[in-house]
Structure 1
Amino acid sequence: MTGENLVPHAGQLLERAHFAAAAFSDYDQASVARIVEAVAEAGHRNAERFAAAAVAETQMGVVDHKIVKNRACSRGIVDFYRDQDYVSPRIDSARKIVEIPRPAGVVLALTPTTNPVSTVYFKVILAMMTRNAVVVAPHPRAKQCSADAARVLAEAAATAGAPDGIIQVIDEPSIPLVEALMADERTDVIVATGGTGVVRAAYSSGNPALGVGPGNVPVLVDATADVEAAARRIVDSKAFDNSVLCTNESVLIVEEAVAARLRSALTRHGAHILDEDAALRLREFMFPGGALNTEVVGRDASWIAERIGLRVTPKTRVLIAPFTDVIGEEVLTHEKLSPVLGMTTVADARRGIRAARAVVRIAGAGHSAAIHSEDPATITDFAAQVPVLRVAVNVGNSTGSSGLDTNLAPSMTIGTGFVGRSSIGENLQPDNLINWTRIAYNSDAGVPMANFAGLSPWRSPAGPVPAYPRASNDTAAAPAPAVRTVSRAPARRNGDPGIEALRAELRALVAEELAQLIKR
């Protein structure tokens, strides 16, 4: 697509999404639940296919581990929120408040190359739960698998009765096109997952944005830890999908009293601890000129070892490079997004906490940290002093802080809060994509509150879901899909007031769209 066509194309995507969002915002909970279930099942059914496609296209990660993430971000997300209702009014009789949910509208979902399909699944399903339209903007290096996954979910949503255009995807992403989408007033909220540049661009767009900061996770193993279990969990976490989750451990800090035992246990569980010479070669290869060599991202340990002339056994899953000083000039204290772990030793837990603070000051503020300990006082001090918003205890942090192996909200988008320059401080969840209109009664006990039980302003769509109206000479756009039905009402004859009202509404929508296009 040529540059001059980018802005009009962005407008077409958003106009169609805006139309769909307006229709979807009137759906009741039963209709929404049916659509969400259909989308989740389609994602789960294709989890293996898209895991393989993602690894083939991006050359990052492990197929089996991406299958786990795809399943967790499809059926797993729905199961986690199964008892939650983001559609029906909430009634608090004690406070005399009724809360009515309002969808954001059109969500622009920027998805990364590291976790492409699982992030598409995750953001689309959250949008469906909250009655939003979503436009997926994939990373160029993962555009094919992301677009294919989004189309599978879109077809499932349409078949279950969602409005035409409720899920759309950019097939050929480019910086000008994404910038046009982010800046357009028809984008109601941007959900940005990716590098710092992408997130900053989202925040600078002029539209509301939910973005996240980079991870750089310190993990402390203190003298009270179950050393064998800690070693196994850390290696498993670092090897999980070759460390492409931003929650993976980056710097291992071990208390001197258990350091020798931990090194032995790490080796037993598949880690290779580098000597001084190999660690120097690793630094030079991974951080030429002080910046991360992106070729290593998502690669396995043996691939990286081969590049630095290091021979390792076939069972090696993680490379561990010891270092001394936790300072910014030491490249091993920075995020690596690969199964490479920096390791340093401290005299006691207090100094370990100080080292973890230093790691996060270098990078990763607000993100996450991990600790292996049986001492609640140390755990509390660690959580209070290290400036992060999630601390995983006695669990691998890749799946711990992302909510896959803890009871945190399962998420592919990790908020870093004010300290990390993010607008959210929690794992992204459905509540972040809606606002609530609050009906608030007089707090005087003498003023009664009416009975709102069973009332809802939303309805199950009766009859055909109208297709997005298109101009008769719109040959560039794909033909509109066949009309889908949610629950059919008795057929009406021509001249029926309901049919005439629907036709009038569609005519008004087309006229409004044409007027908007003329203005632009």
Structure 2
Amino acid sequence: MDIQDKDLQSIQEVRILVKKAKKAQKEFANFSTQLIDEIVKQLSIAAMAEAENLGKLAVEETGFGIWQDKMTKNIVASQKLYEHIKDMKTIGIISEDKDRKIVEIGTPVGVIAALIPSTNPTSTVIYKTLIALKSGNAIIFSPHPSALKCILKTVKVLKEAAVRMGAPEGLISCISIPTMEGTNELMKHEDVSMILATGGTAMVKAAYSSGTPALGVGPGNVPAYIERSADVKKAVSKILASKTFDNGTVCASEQAIVTEKCISDYVKNELRKQGGYFLTGEEIDKVVRIMETPNGGMNPRIVGKSAKDIAAMAGITIPEGTKVLICEEKGVGKEYPFSKEKLTQLLAFYTVEDWTEGCELCYKLLENGGMGHTLAIHSNNEEVIRQFALKKPVSRLLVNTPSTQGAIGLSTGLTPALTLGCGAVGGSATSDNVGPEHLINIRRMAYEVDDLGITPKENKIIDKLDIDAICKMVIEELKNVKK
């Protein structure tokens, strides 16, 4: 039966969920850190047990990606994340500086609204739940409508595990009637303390303009630079491993390869050997027609699809075993389709004279929709690597590693995360991989370390609010310090 007045029912559902979450969070905030940590551990175990089933369900419902890779992301969001955060101090006294006499106390922010994309639905729910509860918060999910079933199932798994451990009802919940009106109500509700927004640019902008503190992430248009000193065979292998991971649905996946003229032919040949197919002539036109919408945006029909699927949609023939379709692009901008973000198995290819020109081209690609996000470099020249790190407006510079796996903390020591901050340059409030430490307020207890030479007699001056006398006293004290 069709739901009548779906928008109104969604708004009402949100109000009920927020009321329950607020009550549950107040109770949860009084739990011992030991019990909270044990609950988080059990959530991780429960999510791990369902990692495969949830991965399959996500692909079945959305049509995006590869279930084995979604299972891997579920494992990153549960087991690997838990190992990273299990000993982290987030609530109560988290640090004490005896020299400066400052004690830092972590307190939960309250109720968190979590916006979930269709590209990484189950893993993002697991990840956000663990970091929210580790920091003493309640969490309410706003699911992408096309991934509602798998998101609700993931929430159910986590919620049941938490309740079994004694967590209050309402601590973890999800909108079951997703609408724009319901999401807006959630983001703007006075009892929601923070928004964790993962998704498209419009969603993130809506979160930041809601009036509620928000942590959102921008799009990724990740260049991968192969410098002349690189091990080309390994570099190509890692780029393809990243770009084919879940069919390119992670925003940190490579969108363009940039390499130097002196090794360009070698790189191309290696790409062909390992499953890359270079589009030519009419093939490029046919692919462009199905990769973009009339207004120049990314066609959602190609998101998370294999090279074989895209070729079939475009009506072109490609060799069996092709992993990625590649186009030698001539420029950067809206008139060059392959220079944009492509959350699928499509790559742009550029050739430059040297690393300085490559540095400039990578900057242009980042300006074309990836500022603040991620850049990958394959090189054995530490000086070139450092120059890229110093000059590129990114939050993650990944060296000799697959960009997808490196950015989410699977192949690097970065915080395991599925919300990757892009910093102010990318329109984000943080440049970090978001973790529990971003979901707390820190109260600082500071003891006096310098009485400023104030004597009991001079305290009488303060009591009389004699501002001129105080200023003179401070000036004299500063003179004595200089002497």
Looking at structure 1, the residues matched to 225 and 279 of structure 2 have their Cα atoms a distance apart, in angstroms, of 20
What's the CA shift for 1:310?
Answer: 2.2
Q: Given that residues 322 and 343 in structure 1 are in contact (C-alpha distance below 8 angstroms), is that contact kept between their aligned partners in structure 2?
A: yes
Of 13, 16, 36, the match for 1:12: 16
Q: For residue 345 of structure 1, what is the aligned residue in structure 2?
A: 351
Deviation per CA, 1:109-136: give whole Å up to 9, x if none: 1010000000000000001111100001
Deviations 1:339-376 (A, max 9, x none): 10011111111101110001011111111111101111
Match of 1:71 in 2: 75
Letter in 1 for 2:256: V
What pairs up with 1:49-68 in 2 under 5 angstroms? 49-68=53-72
In the aligned structure 2, how far is the partner of 1:434 from the partner of 1:36?
A: 16
1:273 CA drift (Å): 1.6
Match of 1:441 among 443, 447, 453: 447
SS at 1:253 equivalent? strand
Q: Compare 59-68 and 95-104 and name the one that shifted more.
A: 95-104
1:296 to 287, 299, 302: 302
2:185 matches 1:183:
no
- 8 Å CA contact retained: 1:223, 1:258: yes
Alpha carbons 1:109, 1:136 under 8 Å: kept: yes
Partners of 1:373 and 1:6 lie apart in 2 by 51
Residue 205 of structure 2 aligns with which residue? 200
CA distance in 1, matches of 2:100, 2:178: 48
User: Alignment partner for residue 210 of structure 1, among 202, 212, 215?
Assistant: 215
Matching of residue 34 in structure 1 with residue 38 in structure 2: yes
From 331, 336, 341, the equivalent of 1:330 is 336
- The runs of 5 or more residues in structure 1 that have no matched partner are 448-520
Displacement of 1:9 in angstroms is: 2.2
Q: Residues 226 and 171 of structure 1: is their aligned pair in 2 closer, same or farther, counting only changes over 3 Å?
A: same
Counterpart-to-counterpart distance in 1, 2:451 and 2:91? 29
Letter in 2 for 1:279: I
Cα distance in 1, alignment partners of residues 205 and 88 from structure 2: 32
Q: Deviations over 1:413-432 (max 9, x none)?
A: 01111101111111111111
Once superposed, what is the RMSD of the aligned Cα atoms? 1.5
Bigger Cα displacement from structure 2, 319-328 vs 141-150: 319-328
Aligned-pair CA distance for 1:164? 1.6
**SS of the residue 1:389 aligns to:** strand
What's 1:117 paired with? Answer: 122
Q: What is the distance in 2 between the residues matched to 1:314 and 1:144?
A: 34
1:38 to 1:446, Cα distance in 2 relative to 1, 3 A: farther
Structure 1 equivalent of residue 368 of structure 2 = 362
What is the DSSP-based 3-state SS (H/G/I as helix, E as strand, rest coil) of the residue aligned with 1:102?
strand
> Which residue, 48, 68, 71 being the options, matches 1:44?
48
Contact 2:92 2:107 in 1 (8 A): no
Q: Residue 394 of structure 2 aligns to a residue in which SS?
A: coil
Task: Tell me which residue corresponds to 1:270.
Answer: 275
Contact 2:333/2:340, CA 8 A, preserved across alignment: no
Aligned pair count? 447
In the alignment, the residues of structure 1 paired with residue 320 and residue 109 of structure 2 have an alpha-carbon distance, to the nearest angstrom, of 49
Structure with the largest fraction of helix: 2
By how many angstroms is 1:311 displaced? 1.9
Deviation at 1:83, TM superposition (A): 2.4
Q: Distance in 1 between matches of 2:29 and 2:292?
A: 49
Query: What amino acid is the match of 1:278?
Result: E
Match of 1:260 among 261, 265, 269: 265
Moved over 4 A (4+): none
In the alignment, the residues of structure 2 paired with residue 327 and residue 201 of structure 1 have an alpha-carbon distance, to the nearest angstrom, of 25
| 2:97 aligned residue (92, 95, 116) | 92
Q: Does the 8 Å CA contact 2:10/2:178 hold for their aligned counterparts?
A: no
Provide the residue aligned with 1:400 in structure 2: 406
Q: Deviations over 1:133-186 (max 9, x none)?
A: 000111001010001100110000010121121100111211011111111101
- The one-letter code of the counterpart of 1:239 is T
1:145 maps to 150
2:324 to 318, 322, 326: 318
Amino acid aligned to 1:79:
E
- State the Cα distance separating 1:26 from its structure 2 match: 1.3
Identical pairs, percent: 36
- Name the aligned partner's letter for residue 440 of structure 1: A
- 8 Å CA contact 2:58–2:147 kept in 1: the answer is yes
TM-score (norm 1): 0.84
Q: Gaps (5+ residues) in structure 2? A: 454-483
2:171 is matched with: 166
Counterpart secondary structure, 1:146: helix
The equivalent of 1:249 in structure 2 is 254
Tell me the amino acid that sits aligned with residue 203 of structure 1. Y
Q: CA deviation at 1:190?
A: 0.5
Matching residue within 186, 204, 222 for 2:227: 222
TM-score w.r.t. length of structure 2: 0.90
> What is the rounded CA distance, in whole Å, between the counterparts of 1:399 and 1:150 in structure 2?
25
Q: Is the 8 A contact 1:96 1:443 kept in 2?
A: yes
